[in-house]
Copies of this chain bind each other. A is one copy, B any other.
Amino acid sequence: MSTAHHRKKQPLFVRQQLLEVAARLASEKGMTAVTLDAVSGASGVSKGGLLHHFPSKNMLLEALFESLLERLDAAIEEAMRADPLPHGRFTRGYLHACLALRDQPEGTKDWAQVTMVLLTEPQLRQRWHAWVRERSEEYVGTDSSVDAAIVRLAADGIWLADLLGSHDMDESARQKLIDRLIELTQL
């Protein structure tokens, strides 16, 4: 009517905000809680505004997933840059990225939860499949040993365990486990 629309225009910020709210909702209340109304409500952005950034709910979810893959890629690349040994480097990077969840600032864990939530959506599962295929083809020279595969699988397992709260163990046990995994990548 009269007094409204006075929000400052910050397209990138608002877009990011919307994604974060969607992520939080998904991780805290499950997939069924991620509705357009809920997202717009919790983020203080109108539904119209939300639908301006993401033309449909599917687009929102896809953007969310894409954003997650970018984060994953960044984390892996960063770890790989600090790793001098080519053999098994990607696997160690992957492991490191999976481990990183636990220790990072709050909010980050949410993103992992979302990943799983999103992976239950059949369409996004294909996107993930594509990601894996790309990487496994790219690093076929340095990371295709049996033990490397085991480590990557275990990394997935740790990722799962961390975000489900299962397989809980104390810090020293965890460190031993990590050491052993890294050792396996070097064989």
Residues of A within 8 A of B (CB): 26, 28-32, 113, 116-117, 119-122, 125, 128-129, 132-133, 136, 146-147, 149-150, 152-158, 160-161, 164-169, 173, 176-177, 180-181
Tell me which of B147, B161, B165 contacts A156 (CB under 8 A): B161
A64 to chain B, nearest CB (A): 14
Instruction: Please give me the residue from chain B that is nearest to A153 by CB atom.
Output: B157
| Given A173-B146, A180-B150, also A167-B31 (CB < 8 A) | no
A30 touching B121, Cβ below 8 Å: yes
A164 touching B122, Cβ below 8 Å: no
B180 touching A146, Cβ below 8 Å: yes
Taking CB atoms, residues of chain B closer than 8 Å to A177 are 146, 149-150, 153
A165 touching B125, Cβ below 8 Å: yes
Instruction: Please give me the residue from chain B that is nearest to A116 by CB atom.
Output: B120
Tell me which of B30, B153, B166 contacts A31 (CB under 8 A): B30
